[in-house]
Amino acid sequence: MPFSRIYKLHLSPERKYVKALKNILGFVPGNLSLYRLAFRHKSRSVTIKKGTKSSNERLEFLGDAILGAVIAEILFKMYPYKEEGFLTEMRSKIVSRVSLNQLAKKLGFDSLIEFDNKTINITAKHSSLLGDAFESLIGAVYLDKGYNFTKNFLEQRIVKPHIDILTLEQTETNFKSKLIEWCQRHGKDILFELITNAEGENVKLFTVQVLVDGEIISQAVDYNKKNAEKLAAEKACTILI
């Protein structure tokens, strides 16, 4: 970015936002509007032409693809003799919603995300909102800086300092399968029950509870039903296994 443009950014009313982004990301953003959009949850969507609403969902879609490609390449080079199934499982562990939520929180994304407090309670805020914003940010970086810059950013700023791949290799993350197998071994019935499908103007939440032999063991809330099931299963594993 030309020095004059950086200088103007730091003199503008946006300078605090630019500084916050630089502290988190390690670089000065070019197209600032992309980063603002990346942190705008759909509950704070802005209506644009023909009724279309602008939120971070499209950037999330793009960022998910870029993140998956970069992590796949890292794993491909790191494990030259492992089969496709192993690589797929490892990638799933790294890019899981739980993992991305933790990363986003650790990086301080929660201070930048725009969301509607009236439609999102504290439980929902910490379900997938942070992880979604993480993927959206990757999409913004890609559009702003290009693939090679984004790849280097992920490798040097995210993976190396924050993700212990060798430890993660030994970590169980498929809690739903683990819970189902445990119930089968002990002759117990298990049910993942959708108890709430709360709909607001801009947001839809799913509440899933785990029942074992008819007893409620755990509950979880997320914007995605499958993610809610995974979170509820993880809580149940902590209690039962």
Q: What is the largest CA-CA distance in the chain?
A: 69
**Which residue intervals of the chain are DSSP H helices?**
3-11, 15-25, 32-38, 57-78, 84-94, 97-107, 122-125, 129-145, 147-153, 160-162, 165-169, 175-185, 225-240
Query: Which is the catalytic residue, given 60, 64, 132, 222?
Result: 64
Query: Which is the catalytic residue, given 60, 135, 144, 234?
Result: 135
Q: 116 catalytic, yes or no?
A: no
Helix (H) or strand (E) holding 197, with range, is: strand 190-199
Contact 103, 23 (CB under 8 A): no
Q: 135 catalytic, yes or no?
A: yes
| Separation CA 69–CA 190 (nearest Å) | 36
For the record, the structure tokens of 132 come out as 């979604």
Which residues, at least 6 apart from 167, have a Cβ–Cβ distance to it below 8 Å? Answer: none
For the record, the structure tokens of 159 come out as 């993976």
| Three state DSSP letters for 86-111 | HHHHHHHHHCCHHHHHHHHHHHCHHH
Catalytic residue annotation: 64, 135
